Amino acid sequence: MNQHMRPEPVPFIDIAAQRRRLGKTIDEAVARVLAHCQFINGPEVTALEAALAKFSGARHVVSCASGTDALLMVLMAKQVGPGDAVLCPSFTFCATGEAVALTGATPVFVDVDEATFNIDAGSLTRGIATARHRGLKPRAVIPVDLFGQSADHDAIAAIAASEGLFVLDDAAQGFGASYQGRRLGTFGLATATSFFPAKPLGCFGDGGAIFTDDDGLAETLRSIRVHGQGADKYDNVRLGLTGRLDTIQAAVLIEKLKIFEDEIAARNAVAARYSRGLGNLVTVPRLAPGCTSVWAQYTIRLPQGVDRDGFAAALKAQGIPTAIYYTRSMHQQTAYRDFPVADGGLPVSERLSNDVISLPMHAYLDAPTQARIIEAVRGALSA
Ligand SMILES: *Cc1c(COP(=O)(O)O)cnc(C)c1O
């Protein structure tokens, strides 16, 4: 290679590769919607919900406009509001706590486990006590299946049951993963996921879904999705949203769901290659017993003393993009810093925000490209 030539850039997530694989099946799926013109609540929406129910094992699937709406709609259906506390990890995407705050309830941030990056049971228990001390009524916990790995759902269920909370699983990154052999979508009262394009199962815009076995909740969610509509569509019986998933996005997702299982296997192969190549250099992700991951991110921790910005710049010079999820935990962000945190503070979340970095990850990352990434990481660490 000419030394003046920049190395060819590697994509962080290769949505175009998947688009090529799906080829005309996806064009035809969209064309069918353009032909029937039922852009809202078309037949593809119902078909997708049935396919997602079959895939996850959940009794009801209510598709909706985004992962954030999925979280918000469940909290609205349960009438969570001012005076209530909802426990959630601080080391997550902002939408987890945002949905809580939008209802007028108080998010109470808890710490995560150093090995899995998922909610820490001890901190959850302390957070519930913190909420009570402040005169708040703990109503719910929102575990997050961060970076694609399922949280410790048995431990969370036990605490929730003894404290009288309901569980709303935020599987925006983890849909497709399983816990103790059961797919996410079947833990707690309800599960929310996102179909944002960069998520493991993404559409070509915004979208989301809610999974539940609760008949009454599913019915309420279907009402909230359309402005709180009642049996008579001109008598709205509660407050709701314009919360529907577009028919075109449902048509896209039906095609993508057909290859999702295969893509999950490919993502796991990519993760295994990274872990073999990098395990002796950095802290590579660890799966807890009984947990699987769909690898929404492959997130490493750099050894102490390594300058993260310098490391990212060295990789960038080799054409390799990185991303930092999350440079600030939620309790460290302007909009959220006045909300309570669990007693004892959130030292793990704060440490992770300082030393994590994510490498390119998608189902179409081939072995030679990955070898290049691993070499570049090696080089950046020895520089
Ligand atoms: C992406 C994401 C969401 C929100 O999903 P949107 O579809 O973007 O609204 C919620 N929680 C987590 C953990 C996410 O990663």
CB 186 near ligand 1, within 6 Å: no
pLDDT the model gives residue 383: 73
Q: Do 226 and 266 sit in the same domain of this protein?
A: no
Ligand 1, atom nearest to 196 Cα: 7
Q: Which of 258, 274, 296 is the last residue of a domain?
A: 258
Q: Do 146 and 81 sit in the same domain of this protein?
A: yes
Distance 233 CA to ligand 1 centre (A): 30
6 falls within a domain = no
pLDDT the model gives residue 4: 56
Q: Do 249 and 266 sit in the same domain of this protein?
A: no
Instruction: Reply yes or no: is the peptide bond before residue 325 cis, omega within 30 of 0.
Output: no
Amino acid occupying residue 135: G
3 falls within a domain = no
Pocket probe for ligand 1: among 196, 203, 249, the residue whose CB has the most ligand atoms within 8 Å is 196
**Tokens 């390594």, located at residue:** 306
| CATH number for position 113 | 3.40.640.10
13 falls within a domain = no
Distance 161 CA to ligand 1 centre (A): 26
Distance 205 CA to ligand 1 centre (A): 13
35 falls within a domain = yes
11 falls within a domain = no
Q: Do 216 and 347 sit in the same domain of this protein?
A: no
Least confident of 15-19, 162-166, 256-260: 15-19
Ligand 1, atom nearest to 68 Cα: 9
Q: Do 301 and 354 sit in the same domain of this protein?
A: yes
Ligand 1, atom nearest to 296 Cα: 15
Q: Which of 113, 112, 118, 167 is nearest to 138 (CA)?
A: 167
220 falls within a domain = yes
Whole-number Cα distances in Å, 222 to 26, 56, 261, 268, 356: 27, 19, 28, 35, 39
Instruction: Collect all residues with Cβ–Cβ distance below 8 Å to 330 and sequence separation of at least 6.
Output: 88, 90, 91, 92, 94, 96, 97, 107, 109, 336
pLDDT the model gives residue 194: 98
Distance 304 CA to ligand 1 centre (A): 30
Q: Do 138 and 62 sit in the same domain of this protein?
A: yes
Q: How many domains does the structure of the chain reveal?
A: 2
Q: Do 216 and 330 sit in the same domain of this protein?
A: no
| CATH number for position 265 | 3.90.1150.10
58-73 residue pLDDT tens: 999 999 999 999 999 9
Pocket probe for ligand 1: among 75, 98, 194, the residue whose CB has the most ligand atoms within 8 Å is 194
Q: Which of 258, 288, 317 is the last residue of a domain?
A: 258
Q: Do 76 and 185 sit in the same domain of this protein?
A: yes
Q: Do 166 and 309 sit in the same domain of this protein?
A: no
Ligand 1, atom nearest to 71 Cα: 10
pLDDT the model gives residue 1: 46
**2 pLDDT tier (thresholds 50, 70, 90):** very low
Task: Give mean pLDDT, residues 197-205.
Answer: 97
Q: Which of 258, 292, 315 is the last residue of a domain?
A: 258
Q: Are 377 and 315 in contact (CB under 8 A)?
A: yes
Q: Do 166 and 62 sit in the same domain of this protein?
A: yes
Pocket probe for ligand 1: among 71, 73, 94, 170, the residue whose CB has the most ligand atoms within 8 Å is 170
Q: Do 324 and 229 sit in the same domain of this protein?
A: no
95-142 residue pLDDT tens: 999 999 999 999 999 999 999 999 999 999 999 999 999 999 999 999
Q: Do 266 and 250 sit in the same domain of this protein?
A: no
Share of the chain above pLDDT 90, in %: 95
26 falls within a domain = yes
CB 196 near ligand 1, within 6 Å: yes
Q: Are 336 and 316 in contact (CB under 8 A)?
A: no
Structural domain span for residue 295 = 260-382
Q: Are 380 and 311 in contact (CB under 8 A)?
A: yes
Q: What are phi and psi of 272, to 5 degrees?
A: -65, -40
268 falls within a domain = yes
Task: Give mean pLDDT, residues 314-321.
Answer: 96
